[in-house]
Amino acid sequence: MLKLPYLLSFMAASVSSLLFPQPLGPYDVYCNTTKLVDTSRTDPFSPHQEYRAVLTTIFTPTLCPNPLKPRPYIPAATAKFYTDLFTTYGLTIPDGALASLQLQTCPDPPGPDSRAQPSKFPIIIFSPGLGTTRLFYTILAQSLASTGYIVISIDHPYDTEFLEFPDRTVVTAANITDDLVPLDVDARARDMSFVLDQLRLGAMGVRVSRTADVAVLGHSLGGAAAAEAMRQDSRFRVGINLDGSMYGPVVRQGPGDDDDDDDDERPFLLFGHENKTHVTDPSWVEFINSWGRGGVVELELEKAEHYTFSDLPSLLDLLGLDGRQVPAVKSMIGSLSGERALEVVRGVIEGFLAYGFCQGSPERLLKCLELYTEVEVVERC
């Protein structure tokens, strides 16, 4: 990852834009953000009994015939909100620094003559951590897309701390207490199925009629939602939980009672930060037992903390801010560099998806994991 001198933090006001490095995969990436409204259900957290509406960004592999163009990493009002929030953790981000960040993306969706047709790529539907914007996983999503996956990230309203829709309408988080977490997990799981339906209809600017290889991926509470989505919807063949405790019926019921004999063979990955394993999280023990030990792989990432699995380590490195010197920040992102954290998390996800979509054997998966010395295999497939 590109490193900038710490001096940048004092000069950011003079920088009009700051580009993230281009992902290393063989594909360019087209991005599109869309608000989707599910008129079949009301939002359980809306004070106005509105239809459930989610905000999505789709990342599509493509071979761009035109020069790449910059795209804002984060909208201005959202950038201001998080700049102020990070200050409460003792990390000063100069005004305008987050808003200056830009991605390099293809300005056009894949055309009908493109050699990168959407229907050839597996699909990943992503749900973020509780309260955390989907935008803080953009680098991971774009990186995965560049290697040949269609990735759709979701912001769940009244859950995300600050959700800024394209018309600049803002929805802030409701008070989701512990008692309401199972309801939130259920709502997120339903959002994931709804988004898959909308992808097949072309509602996000990219239409994919073939949806055989579909995975659900989530961080923190999004990981619990990924498992619950698999229980509810047999179209999801592979699931990954990045560092999240488990909630909801899936903890006790496993992948469900569908008549499809392949359901109980759908693999699931639990990937925790250092010292987060089934030994320290009882919900993982119950989940592993209900899902079936042959269907779950459990990994532990050394030198990692909860937000190592997000863009935050890369963001701070690009901005030249040594957040690891701030105790509250280090406790969130760990000690891995942004470049290494992204490399390991992306590589593990890719390796597990290849295994889950029957592109490799368990032995091949374990061989892939040997590339990442920070990863310990706790529970084998």
207 band by pLDDT with thresholds 50, 70 and 90:
confident
Check residue 61 and give its pLDDT: 95
Check residue 363 and give its pLDDT: 86
- What's the pLDDT tens digit per position in 275-291? 999 999 999 999 999 99
Given a cut of 50, whether residue 9 has pLDDT beyond it is no
DSSP string, 170-230: EEEPP---GGGHHHHHHHHHHHHHHHHHHHHHTTTS------SSEEEEEETHHHHHHHHHH
Segment 305-312 mean pLDDT: 97
Alpha-carbon radius of gyration of the chain? 20
Given a cut of 50, whether residue 7 has pLDDT beyond it is no
361: its two tokens: 């054997």
6 band by pLDDT with thresholds 50, 70 and 90:
very low
Check residue 116 and give its pLDDT: 79
The least confident of 1-10, 87-96, 123-132, 166-175 is: 1-10
Check residue 210 and give its pLDDT: 72
User: 152 pairs with which residues across the strands?
Assistant: 58, 125
Segment 320-338 mean pLDDT: 89
Please name which of 366, 347, 365, 367 lies closest in space to residue 356, comparing C-alpha atoms.
Answer: 365
Distance CA 309, CA 306 (A): 7
Check residue 58 and give its pLDDT: 97
Given a cut of 60, whether residue 263 has pLDDT beyond it is no
Given a cut of 50, whether residue 193 has pLDDT beyond it is yes
Please name which of 55, 302, 20, 244 lies closest in space to residue 143, comparing C-alpha atoms.
Answer: 20
Check residue 257 and give its pLDDT: 54
62: its two tokens: 């493509």
3-state secondary structure 132-187: CCHHHHHHHHHHHHHCCCEEEEEECCCCCCEEECCCCCEEECCCCCHHHHHHHHHH
Segment 153-173 mean pLDDT: 94
Cα-based angle 1, 272, 147 (whole degrees, multiple of 5) = 45
Given a cut of 70, whether residue 68 has pLDDT beyond it is yes
18: its two tokens: 């700051």
Check residue 301 and give its pLDDT: 98
294: its two tokens: 């042959």
89: its two tokens: 């953790």
Please name which of 175, 168, 171 lies closest in space to residue 155, comparing C-alpha atoms.
Answer: 171
Q: Is 354 helix (H, G, I), strand (E, B) or coil?
A: helix
Within its chain, how far is the Cα of 208 from the centroid? 20
Check residue 325 and give its pLDDT: 83
Segment 309-319 mean pLDDT: 93
**pLDDT > 90: percent of the chain:** 73
Within its chain, how far is the Cα of 79 from the centroid? 19
Segment 205-233 mean pLDDT: 92
Check residue 15 and give its pLDDT: 46
112 band by pLDDT with thresholds 50, 70 and 90:
confident
Check residue 196 and give its pLDDT: 96
Domain boundaries, the chain: 8-379
User: 241 pairs with which residues across the strands?
Assistant: 218, 270
381 band by pLDDT with thresholds 50, 70 and 90:
low
Average pLDDT, the chain: 90
Given a cut of 60, whether residue 258 has pLDDT beyond it is no
Segment 314-337 mean pLDDT: 89
Distance CA 205, CA 152 (A): 12
121 band by pLDDT with thresholds 50, 70 and 90:
very high
Name the class of domain 8-379: alpha beta
Residues 6 or more apart whose CB falls under 8 angstroms from that of 298 comprise: 269, 270, 271, 272, 277, 278, 284, 288, 377, 378, 379
Given a cut of 90, whether residue 361 has pLDDT beyond it is no
E strands present in the chain: 18-19, 28-42, 51-62, 69-72, 101-105, 123-127, 150-155, 162-164, 170-172, 214-219, 238-242, 268-273, 296-301, 375-379
Check residue 261 and give its pLDDT: 46
